[in-house]
Amino acid sequence: MKLSLILRAALVAFVVCIAGSAARADEGQVTLVIFKAGWFVGGSGGKGVLTFRGHTYALTTGGLDYGLVFGGSQTTLQGRIRNIRQPSDIEGVYGAAGVGVAFGAGVRGIVLTNPNGAVLELAGKQLGLMANVDLSGLAIHLNQ
């Protein structure tokens, strides 16, 4: 009887610990301005900000595109990042396969995940002349 009570208490403590760690995951707001150019192989770079728990953090981005890439564009994306516990969880490489065309102004939306489990949900406007059918990677770095 006493062993059963101890096992129950241990199980309850374990569940509370797991639930507590999952509950600490939070979300923040992200704005990115990305410049992209390419001719079959493309590159991108930019900057942005993360607003998380009342603080603002500077971000830099960079990446490569491989496939059919032609042109140049500037994309301004805004949205949220989910499933982060600290600002550095935004860091990492986000991969995507994409198809897109922009002549002048266009609208773009994307959902990406990094190896830390952070989920970026972004939408915004793209300006320029860009056509792409590619695999791309976007690396985000937190400036400290």
pLDDT digit string, tens, across residues 52-66: 999 999 999 998 877
Fold of the domain built from segment(s) 26-142: Lipocalin (2.40.128)
Render the burial of 10-34: b for 16+ CB within 10 Å, e for the rest.
eeeeeeeeeeeeeeeeeebebbbbb
Residue 123 has pLDDT above 50, yes or no: yes
CB 95 within 8 A of CB 73: no
pTM greater than 0.85? no
For the chain, give the percent of residues with pLDDT over 90.
Answer: 40
pLDDT digit string, tens, across residues 55-114: 999 999 998 877 777 788 888 999 999 999 999 999 999 876 555 555 666 667 788 889
29's CB contacts (< 8 A; 6+ apart) are 50, 51, 52, 78, 79, 80, 81
